[in-house]
Amino acid sequence: MKKNLVLWVSSLIIALIFIVLQFRVIVKQGEVAVLTTLGKPTREIAEPGLYFKWPWPVQRAHLFDARVRCMTSSFAETFTKDGKNVLIGLYATWQVAEPTKFLQRIGSDEQADRKLDELLQAEKDTVISEYEFSALVNTNPAAVQLEAIEAKILEGVQAASLDRYGIALSSVGVPRTGIPQVNTEGVYARIRSERQSLAQTYRSEGESEAAKIRGRADAKRQQLLNDATAFAKRQRGEGQAEAAKHYETFAKDPEFATFLKSVSSIKASLNEQSTIILSTDSAPYDLLKTESK
């Protein structure tokens, strides 16, 4: 009996706790709440803390994150003033400023993102159509008007978002710009041609430089050989001149000198492959002939 009593009491306490929880709403720092009574918004809570409410289905608390959050719009195509297609992506920072209006007209973060995207896209198209393409990309930094475009878009949608949806937009930025697929392909083709042309230039420069270096090397080689040949000729000439001094000795008996030269020439010319045909009248073989007689 005692044990059952404990069970009953503890069960009742737990049930009581959770019933009590239905009578309160906690609004955290950075949140806002709208209390609806039988579906009708009756109270806005902007300060964090613990608040009383009647349990569902009498009262219901709709909590919204009131902190600044970021939404990024579609990267959508638009026209510039000079008729160029351009892709512009936007981001916007926003927060719930009027919770009741936000609950009634938007209801959820996803829906808020969708509505803001529509609003921003429309304003972006309008603003971009007032600028030429050169305001987006230009060699002159002062001519790039992206900051002015952001300010104009923000100015154009700030009041409308607050008025229509209870959303306060604090900033708009252009984090992405681009050109459509077809044009991108054109740009890619141009970049490729430009790069290929540059590559060919570098290759040609290389070949040209190599040819020059080779030419210079060949010329230098020829020069070196020519110098060496000339030196060789000079050396031989000098040698001949020096040798001529010794030849003066031969003047003592030119005939004998010639004879000696002849003998040495014959000696030098005879080798294994020489064939000599001599008459038996020639010395010393004439001796053989005399004996046979």
Partner 1 sequence: MAEGGKHERSLLLAMIVLVATGGIDLYLRSRTGLLLFQLIGVYILLAIGMCGVVFLRFRFARGAHEEKREVDRVRNTSSGDTSLFGMESGDPFSAIRNFSIIEKHLVPAYTIVAAIIAILYSVRVFRGADVSTMPNEGMLGAAFLIGQAFLFFLFSRFMLGLSRTKTFRIYRGPGIALGLICLISFGAGLAIVCTEFTEFPFHKFAGWITAGILGLLGAESLLVLMFSIFSPRRKYLIGTAYESRLASFITVPDQWAQNVAQTVDYQFGLNIGERFHLRVLKNLVLPIFALTAVVLWLMSTVFFLEPHEQGFIERTGRPLNPETPLDSGMHLKMPWPIDTVRRLPSKRIQTIHVGFDPDKKSVDPMQAMLEDPDVRLWTDPHHDADDPFLVNGGSNNALTGNQVGLISINMPVEVLITNLYDYTYRYQNPEEIFAEIARGILTRELASLDQIGVLSADRRDFGSRIAAQLTEKVEAAQLGLEVVNIGLAGIHPPSSVAAAFQEVVSAIEEREASTLMAKAHSIKIEKEAEAEAEIIRQAAETDRLRIVSEAESLAYEFEQQLGPYKIAPDVFKARAKLDVLQQGLVNTRLYLIDGNADEVLTFNLEEKPKLEQFLGDEDEEEQAN
Residues 228-287 that bind partner 1 (CB under 8 A): 228-229, 231-236, 238-240, 242-247, 249-250, 252-253, 256-257, 259-261, 263, 266-267, 270-285
Out of 137, 155, 159, 163, the residue judged to bind partner 1 by CB under 8 A: 137
Question: Least Å distance between CB 291 and partner 1?
Answer: 13
Q: Does 81 bind partner 1 (CB under 8 A)?
A: no
What's the DSSP call for residue 136? T
Phi/psi at 160 (5° precision): -65, -40
166: left (phi over 0), alpha (psi -120 to 50) or beta: left
Question: Least Å distance between CB 171 and partner 1?
Answer: 7
CB 92 within 8 A of CB 70: yes
83: left (phi over 0), alpha (psi -120 to 50) or beta: left
Kindly tell me which of 159 and 224 has the beta carbon lying closer to partner 1.
224
Question: How far apart, in whole angstroms, are the C-alpha atoms of residue 21 and residue 7?
Answer: 21
Span near partner 1 by CB under 8 A; candidates 68-76, 98-106, 123-131, 160-168: 68-76
Helix 109-128 / helix 146-165 crossing angle, nearest 10 deg: 140
Q: Does 221 bind partner 1 (CB under 8 A)?
A: yes
Question: Least Å distance between CB 175 and partner 1?
Answer: 4
Nearest 5 degrees, angle CA 131-CA 133-CA 139?
115
How many residues make contact with partner 1 (CB under 8 A)?
Answer: 147
Three-class DSSP category at 83: coil
Question: Least Å distance between CB 36 and partner 1?
Answer: 13
For partner 1, the binding residues in 100-129 under the rule CB under 8 A are: none
Integer-rounded Cα radius of gyration of the chain: 55
Question: Least Å distance between CB 40 and partner 1?
Answer: 18
CB 106 within 8 A of CB 165: yes
Kindly tell me which of 54 and 285 has the beta carbon lying closer to partner 1.
285
For partner 1, the binding residues in 28-67 under the rule CB under 8 A are: 28-31, 47-50, 55-56, 65, 67
Instruction: Write the binding mask 171 to 210 for partner 1: x where contact by CB under 8 A, - elsewhere.
Output: x-xxxxxxxxxxxx-xxx-xxx-xxx-xxxxxx-xxx-xx
Question: Least Å distance between CB 82 and partner 1?
Answer: 6
CB 72 within 8 A of CB 136: no
CB 176 within 8 A of CB 89: yes
Q: Does 74 bind partner 1 (CB under 8 A)?
A: yes
CB 174 within 8 A of CB 147: no
For partner 1, the binding residues in 147-176 under the rule CB under 8 A are: 147, 150, 171, 173-176
For partner 1, the binding residues in 8-27 under the rule CB under 8 A are: 10-11, 14-15, 18-19, 21-22, 26-27
Question: How far apart, in whole angstroms, are the C-alpha atoms of residue 93 and residue 172?
Answer: 7
